[in-house]
Amino acid sequence: MSADSKFNNRYLKLFLAFLIGLIVGLIALLYNNVLDFFTFSLLDIGMELTILNRLSFLFLPALGGLLVGFIIKYGSMTAKGHGIPAILSSIESKERHLTYRDLLTEGFASAITISTGGSGGRIGPIVEIGAGMGDLIAYKLDLDLDDYQSFLGCGAAAGIAGLFHAPLGGIMFVTEILFNKVEKSRLILVALSAITADMVIRWSGKDLFLADLNLGQVGSAYNFLTAAVIGVFAAFFAVAFIYTLHKLSDIFDNLKINIVLKPALGGLLLGVIAFGLPEIMGSGNRVIISLFEQNEFNLGFLLLILIFKIIGTALTLGSGGSGGIFSPSLLIGSLTGIIIGISFHQIFPFLSGSPVLYALIGMAAVISGVIRAPLTATFIILEFTHNYSLTIPLLIASLIAERIASMSGIKSAYSPEYFERL
């Protein structure tokens, strides 16, 4: 029986989708645990030490960048920057481009970047690794292009589900970002992979990212108005983030130095900022959680973190470091939501939202503006919290941010044209 006829059997396709979800879920679990261990060892402990010991923050990202430069140069250039544009480029060009070497390079390079303080996220690398697993399995079985792209989507959805406990978010990501349209048969395969990966993480006992949050009166009409205002400002910061990332990428691309040294230079510049503002280091998850535990906020200080998180992420990824933009966007969004929400509340004190609610709305809005996917942003935040009363304010902010960001003329951070420039 030929490969083509064999995989016309839908039950075998379902099994393959299940297998991809299982593999990617296990990879996501391992990747997350390894990063948690090294991040705690190298960064979190350092936050509690003296200023003298914080001098290590000047050089740790640079050292990580140097290692990443070697890995990328002698491993695979696809690990440079954030990887999702590479997946979209593969889909648009109808070519298969990833190898086992690419995936190993992406995993090691992103883990080193993030654990040594580079301002990057986990989701971009794990989505590329997940999509790459689907890519490679389909290639080894010599499947046709349609099935190959279906299983690539299965791996991408499984990556998001495995990291974020967000199977619906993974499904919507594939629908909004990877494919212009998703047929029922492909959607079933993608959903199976996402659910399987999510089950792997749940069976491991890992807790939800965000839970038991005090959100106040979510359904208040005043909060819908606040969500609209947050959406407007989130679009501005989303566009600023994309612009800064691509501007610094151009600058580093044009530097006449060895490609190995470029991520080290980006890391050194990040370290200079991090000496005085260590909150910009890493993915930003630790800072988000600390924000949710606070009752009082210094809005000027939060704005400072927001601005330099944008710059720090652009330095890390624009110089050639490996990581994603999703987690930094979450931090930028949470800061935007709190700053704008509290400021709006001070002008109109009858508003009834809480800073945590504003932060969640800001997260969804900035993600939507950065990747132009309002439903993906909404579902991921909903699955973070399991509080579906958030649906309307999240959608309001996400849709407004997406529309305004699109009107700016600056394309999504995931646009394949940015991959072509690497």
What pLDDT band is residue 40 in, cutting at 50, 70 and 90? low
- What's the Cα-to-Cα distance from 335 to each of 87, 223, 289, 359, rounded to whole Å? 29, 17, 12, 6
123-176 pLDDT per residue, tens: 888 898 898 888 888 888 888 888 888 999 999 999 999 988 899 999 999 999
370-397 pLDDT per residue, tens: 999 999 999 999 998 888 889 999 999 9
Instruction: Please indicate, yes or no, whether residues 242 and 385 belong to a single structural domain of this protein.
Output: yes
215 occurs within a structural domain: no
Mean pLDDT to the nearest integer, 325-330? 94
Residue 179 has pLDDT above 90, yes or no: no
What's the confidence (pLDDT) of residue 92?
67
Instruction: Please indicate, yes or no, whether residues 170 and 141 belong to a single structural domain of this protein.
Output: yes
Instruction: Please indicate, yes or no, whether residues 264 and 292 belong to a single structural domain of this protein.
Output: yes
CB atoms within 10 A of CB 74: 9
What's the confidence (pLDDT) of residue 66?
94
214 occurs within a structural domain: no
Contact at 8 Å (CB) between 130 and 87? no
Instruction: Please indicate, yes or no, whether residues 172 and 298 belong to a single structural domain of this protein.
Output: no
| Mean per-residue pLDDT of the chain | 86
121: which residues sit within 8 A by CB, 6+ positions away?
82, 114, 283, 284, 323, 324, 325, 326, 327, 328, 329, 330
Q: Which domain holds residue 325?
A: 221-420
Q: Which of 109-113, 270-274, 416-420 has the highest mean pLDDT?
A: 270-274
Contact at 8 Å (CB) between 302 and 338? yes
What's the confidence (pLDDT) of residue 96?
57
Mean pLDDT to the nearest integer, 329-334? 97
What's the confidence (pLDDT) of residue 78?
62
3 occurs within a structural domain: no
Instruction: Please indicate, yes or no, whether residues 282 and 412 belong to a single structural domain of this protein.
Output: yes
Instruction: Please indicate, yes or no, whether residues 135 and 283 belong to a single structural domain of this protein.
Output: no
Instruction: Please indicate, yes or no, whether residues 135 and 278 belong to a single structural domain of this protein.
Output: no
Instruction: Please indicate, yes or no, whether residues 177 and 269 belong to a single structural domain of this protein.
Output: no
Q: Could you say which DSSP state residue 206 is in?
A: P
335 occurs within a structural domain: yes
Number of domains in the chain: 2
Mean pLDDT to the nearest integer, 108-118? 88
The percentage of residues in the chain with a pLDDT greater than 90, rounded to a whole number, is: 49
CATH classification of the domain holding 250: 1.10.3080.10
Instruction: Please indicate, yes or no, whether residues 60 and 101 belong to a single structural domain of this protein.
Output: yes
Rounded to 5 degrees, φ, ψ at 120 are -145, 165
What's the confidence (pLDDT) of residue 329?
96
CA gap 242, 285 in Å, rounded:
20
Instruction: Please indicate, yes or no, whether residues 167 and 20 belong to a single structural domain of this protein.
Output: yes
> Hey, what amino acid is at 145?
L
283 occurs within a structural domain: yes
Residue with tokens 């958030």: 390
Triad 325, 257, 281: Cα angle to 5° = 30
Q: Based on C-alpha coordinates, what's the Rg of the chain?
A: 21
Q: Which of 203, 229, 246 is the last residue of a domain?
A: 203
Region of poorest pLDDT, from 234-243, 314-323, 351-360, 378-387: 351-360
Q: Which of 177, 203, 229 is the last residue of a domain?
A: 203
